[in-house]
A and B are shown apart, each in its own frame.
Chain A
Amino acid sequence: GDSVTQMEGPVTLSEEAFLTINCTYTATGYPSLFWYVQYPGEGLQLLLKATKADDKGSNKGFEATYRKETTSFHLEKGSVQVSDSAVYFCALKGQGGSEKLVFGKGTKLTVNP
């Protein structure tokens, strides 16, 4: 079945550092890929998405590129802020009609001033 593997955390960075959180997937066909963010005490929110190969999703300075050849969707940000401290989840939606998402286990990011 479909699955998502993302780098285990926690990840601790200093403000203005470069961020990469790796995500790879296993799925048949051409799934849609997502990054969700969860701030403390809240539910998950969509951060960005890409629906076809070579698409780049971007939002709030975060970017991720859908790489079919490496089955990857790594999340990057050039300069993190303290306010980016959260848990980040990579997810995929299969090519079929179902709207169900399969999530990775999440990566906790802490950014220190």
Chain B
Amino acid sequence: NAGVTQTPKFQVLKTGQSMTLQCAQDMNHNSMYWYRQDPGMGLRLIYYSASEGTTDKGEVPNGYNVSRLNKREFSLRLESAAPSQTSVYFCASSGPNSPLHFGNGTRLTVT
């Protein structure tokens, strides 16, 4: 099925560990996004990429880095995980005349 695929679905990290969340879309969308979802906070934009080769900070970028590897893939890296980064992470993509399409999320716990 066409859409946005995120891996892994679940992850537990210890404080200070690093990891990369992977995201790929097969809808030929130019724009891709990383959001985090926390109880009572809604969705907050971490980083986005308007096109291949460009990335920009969103509302809460501290502690994260991103790579737009190609048009399809947009990864999110936590270099040194902290308990405050425990969250559900969603990748999304969009095109000029299409709505935001979301992946099913990565549930990350940092202990």
Chain A interfacial positions (CB closer than 8 Å to B): 34, 36, 41-46, 49, 89, 98-101, 103-106
Instruction: Give, as a whole number of angstroms, the nearest-CB distance from A3 to chain B.
Output: 11
Residues of A within 8 A of B105 (CB): 42-43
Asked if residues B102 and A44 are in contact (CB atoms below 8 Å), the reply is yes
Distance, CA A42 to CA B4, complexed state (A): 12
Given contacts A44-B90, A44-B102, contact A103 B42 (CB under 8 A): yes
Instruction: Give, as a whole number of angstroms, the nearest-CB distance from B68 to chain A.
Output: 15
Given contacts A43-B90, A99-B94, contact A89 B42 (CB under 8 A): yes
* Number of residues on chain B facing chain A (CB within 8 A): 21
5 contacts between A and B (CB under 8 A): A44-B100, A44-B102, A100-B33, A103-B42, A103-B43
Residues of A within 8 A of B87 (CB): none
Q: Could you say which of B31, B43, B102, B104 has the most chain A C-beta atoms within 10 Å of its C-beta? A: B43
Bits for B24-67, please: 1 = Cβ < 8 Å to A, else 0.
Answer: 00000001010000001111010010100000001000000000
Residues of A within 8 A of B48 (CB): 100
Distance, CA A100 to CA B104, complexed state (A): 19
Distance, CA A101 to CA B43, complexed state (A): 10
Given known contacts A43-B92, A46-B100, A101-B100, what 12 new A-B pairs fall within 8 Å (CB)? A43-B4, A43-B90, A43-B103, A43-B104, A44-B43, A45-B102, A46-B99, A89-B42, A103-B42, A103-B43, A105-B41, A106-B42
Given contacts A100-B45, A103-B43, contact A43 B50 (CB under 8 A): no
Which positions 78-109 of chain B face chain A at CB distance < 8 Å? 90, 92, 94, 96, 99-100, 102-105
Asked if residues A99 and B31 are in contact (CB atoms below 8 Å), the reply is yes
